[in-house]
Structure 1
Amino acid sequence: MSDKLPQESQNEEVDLGQLFNAIGKLFEKLFSFIGQLIKGIFSAIIFSLKPIVNNFKMILIILMASALIGFVVERLRAPIYVSDMLVRPYYDSKYQLANNVDYFNALIGSENYKELSNIFEIDSSTTAKELIGFEIEIGPETQNDLLKEYDDYLKSLDSTLAVEVTYEDFIENRDILAGSIFSIKAKATNNDIFPSLEQGFIKTFENEYSTKLKARSDSIRQVQKLNYLVELERIENLQKTYLDIKTNESNKGEVRLGVDGLIPLIQEKTETKEFELFQEELRIRNALRLLEEEALEESEYYDILSSFEEVGTVELDIMERFSLVFPLVCLLIMIIVYIALRIFKFIKEYE
């Protein structure tokens, strides 16, 4: 019995020793792997920088020459001016607006300056040739506008589908024509051409479909107004009748004997509903007021919130900064050529 206990203790110590040795070897392998990884990354960085250092002078000369060429091209190239106009279309004329922007760009691309001059009422020989293109974007919107639009969108869906559509999904998948305010950006090589372009876009909003839609809305509003006026006239007649009844009762007053012909004498009054009629009259007059306000708000096919500026501003596009773009392109080409040569040399020498 006493001989077995020391033997079991020795076995446990051996097992613990082997465990600690295994853990130590595991950590050694881990640290060795991390060291090899860091060494590999460092070698890759040095290997990448080595050709740049070896050919530093040539690379610097090429980059400086390309930057100088880009700077000269920037100076010789005519500047591009931009100007924005904010509009709020009504009667679904936004669809025609988006279609016409594409049409105008197609006319510019095909150099159909005669048609452009007819649309914008500008000179075709000079002014129309200075147009570069148009862009349309959703105008500035507040968080409240987006939330209201999201709420209206959910109301248009089935209840089972509305649960699955989150606000983030709605904003991410929102189409450009979902907005109510649009920003129209015009580009040209002339900085004072923009005010004359406004007339061409005004023609866009009053098209065949929007005219038909406006006429339909005006007719519906007129029918609603006539119905409200007829109902208001009926209420006024009832109010007059009730007033006559009250006047007659106050002047002569009908009386009858009390129960079983005994006194006192009781005056019988006709029940009227003046208060209910007054409430109904307020409701109808409020509805008429809302109709008038709606007719005033939608009396036009569009609202110009901000016109084109009198003088356009120079467009500052990073892709137009040739003094930066040319050196980057040259550096990329040199890297691709170097990698291609190294691969070619490796394949050629491979056994």
Structure 2
Amino acid sequence: MSTNQPNNKNEEEVDLGSLFVIIGKGFKNFFNFIGNIFKGIFDFFIVILLFLRSNFIKISGALLLGIIVGFIFETSKPDSFGSEMILQPNFKSSRQLYNNINFYNDLVKQKDTAALQKVFNLDKAEAASLQKFTIEPIRVENDIINAYDQLVLEVDTLTIKSYEFETFKNSFTDYDYNFHKINVVAQKNDVFDKLDEVIISSVVNNKYFKRFKELTNENLNRKDSLYRKNLVQLDSLRRVYMQVMLEEAKNPNSGTSIDLGSTATKTTNELELFNTNRRLNSDLEEISEEKSKNYEVINVISNFQPIGHEFKEVTKNYAFLVGIAFAGLMILILLLIKLNRYLENYNK
């Protein structure tokens, strides 16, 4: 028995030693693998740098030649001018506005000068100068938050619990933002102020939106009138209440008492009247804001500038584009030559 116990201990020590050796080799292989990855990436960048250094003159020459050729094309290209208009569509009219802008842009793409002349009442040269119509929302996070808050107020608690903010945010589209920016690019810099009225009227004159606006404003006016009447009645009630309080103060010991009823007494105390008055005034302010906002189908925040600004984009400049293209082509040719040499040596 005593002989077997030392043997068992030795076997356990050998097993543990082997286990540690295996674990050590595993860690070593893992770190070697990670090191080889970084080494491979480093070698790759070194190869690229060596390639660029050895062919720097050729690539630079191609780039310079491309810039010169592109500059020639750029100077012969007609100038482009841009202008923008910011609008606030009401009554969910933003979708119609987007459709109209896309329609105008399609006419430009199709070079339908006659249709553009007719739509915008332009002469042929002005219509032909139009190059692009685009529209995009001015993305403000508060628009999403305010829209969600409005939804919370309109629906019941059980419904809103199953409709989280992130879900609402993901369903929020470009049409749902409050403000939208229309950009127009043209070869003439004085054509823009002839476009805004047509763009706006194309939505404003829609019968559905006109009727929607009329009904909304009628409801707001009715609500405003009702709240103002309530405010007048509340002021009268406050005066009566104050007179009663004064009478009671003048005759503290008289047996006569004015009983307005327990319910009336509770609802016409001074603090309650003050709070009611404050709420009515607050509601009237909100109605005034709504009336101001919904007075038109589309609120114009800023019109097109009468004279457009010169439209230049580096990424669309011919000197930049042709220069990059020539340099890329030279790199491709050099790589193909290098590949061909490698294949020739490989066969040997």
Whether TM exceeds 0.5 here: the answer is yes
The verdict on how the C-alpha distance between 1:154 and 1:74 changes in structure 2, with shifts beyond 3 A counting, is farther
C-alpha distance in structure 1 between counterparts of 2:42 and 2:223, whole Å: 80
How far residue 333 of structure 1 moved from its aligned partner, in angstroms, is: 4.2
C-alpha distance in structure 2 between counterparts of 1:129 and 1:270, whole Å: 83
| CA RMSD of superposed structures (Å) | 4.7
The verdict on how the C-alpha distance between 1:293 and 1:331 changes in structure 2, with shifts beyond 3 A counting, is closer
How far residue 38 of structure 1 moved from its aligned partner, in angstroms, is: 5.7
The verdict on how the C-alpha distance between 1:270 and 1:217 changes in structure 2, with shifts beyond 3 A counting, is same
Unaligned runs of 5+ residues in structure 2 are 248-253
Q: TM-score, normalised by structure 2?
A: 0.70
Residue aligned with 1:134, SS: strand
Matched, 1:202 2:203: no
Residue aligned with 1:187, SS: strand
Partner of 1:193 in structure 2? 191
1:104-119 mapped onto 2 (5 Å cutoff)? 104-119=104-119
How far residue 293 of structure 1 moved from its aligned partner, in angstroms, is: 5.5
Residue aligned with 1:122, SS: coil
How far residue 145 of structure 1 moved from its aligned partner, in angstroms, is: 4.1
Partner of 2:146 in structure 1? 148
Q: TM-score, normalised by structure 1?
A: 0.69
Partner of 2:64 in structure 1? 64
Percent identity between matched residues is 25
How far residue 325 of structure 1 moved from its aligned partner, in angstroms, is: 2.1
Aligned length: 324
Partner of 1:220 in structure 2? 219
Partner of 2:94 in structure 1? 94
The verdict on how the C-alpha distance between 1:31 and 1:177 changes in structure 2, with shifts beyond 3 A counting, is closer
In our comparison, the structure showing a higher alpha carbon Rg is 1
The verdict on how the C-alpha distance between 1:29 and 1:181 changes in structure 2, with shifts beyond 3 A counting, is closer
Residues 186-235 of structure 1 show CA distances to partners (whole Å, capped at 9, x for unaligned) of: 111122222222221221331211101012223334554676688789x5
The answer as to whether partners of 1:232 and 1:284 remain within 8 angstroms in 2 is no
C-alpha distance in structure 1 between counterparts of 2:52 and 2:286, whole Å: 74
1:159-308 mapped onto 2 (5 Å cutoff)? 159-163=160-164, 165-166=165-166, 170-171=168-169, 173-206=171-204, 207-224=206-223, 267=256, 271=260, 276=268, 279=273, 282=277, 286=281, 291=287, 294-308=290-304
How far residue 175 of structure 1 moved from its aligned partner, in angstroms, is: 1.2
C-alpha distance in structure 1 between counterparts of 2:85 and 2:308, whole Å: 11
Residue aligned with 1:162, SS: coil
C-alpha distance in structure 2 between counterparts of 1:182 and 1:122, whole Å: 25
Matched letter for residue 99 of structure 1: N
Which residue among 295, 310, 317 is the counterpart of 2:313? 317
How far residue 134 of structure 1 moved from its aligned partner, in angstroms, is: 1.3
Matched letter for residue 128 of structure 2: K
Unaligned runs of 5+ residues in structure 1 are 250-264
